Structure 1
Amino acid sequence: MSVLVHSVDRPETPAMKMPDRFRTDVIHFATPAGMFDAPDKLNNGEYWVRREDAQQAYDDGVLRVVSILDSENRTELELSEEQEIFLEWLLEHEVQHIRLESVR
Structure 2
Amino acid sequence: MDRPKLIPLDRPELPPLPISDRLRGQLVYFVSGPDAPDRPELGENEYWFDRDEVAKWLDDGVIHLVSPLDSDNATEVELSEEQEDLLAWLSENKVRHARVG
Matched, 1:4 2:5: yes
- Equivalent pairs: percent with the same residue? 43
- How do 1:1-104 residues align onto structure 2 when only pairs under 5 Å count? 2-39=3-40, 41-101=41-101
How far apart, CA to CA, are the structure 2 residues paired with 1:96 and 1:37?
A: 10
Deviations 1:3-33 (A, max 9, x none): 1011011111111111011221100000022
Question: Deviations along 1:33-63, whole A, 9 cap, x unmatched?
Answer: 2323322x20000000100011011111111
CA distance in 2 between partners of 1:50 and 1:74 (Å): 20
- Distance in 1 (alpha carbons) for counterparts of 2:70 and 2:16: 36
- Superposition deviation, residue 65 in structure 1: 1.4
Q: Contact 1:5 / 1:17 at 8 angstroms: preserved in 2?
A: yes
Question: 2: CA distance between counterparts of 1:56 and 1:68?
Answer: 23
The Cα RMSD (Å) is: 1.2
Q: Which AA in structure 2 matches 1:33?
A: P
User: What 5-or-longer segments of structure 2 have no aligned partner?
Assistant: none
Q: How many residues align?
A: 100
Q: Runs of 4 or more off by more than 3 Å in structure 1?
A: none
CA distance in 1, matches of 2:5, 2:74: 29
CA distance in structure 2 between the aligned counterparts of 1:59 and 1:37, rounded to whole angstroms: 23
The residue identity in structure 1 corresponding to 2:48 is: W
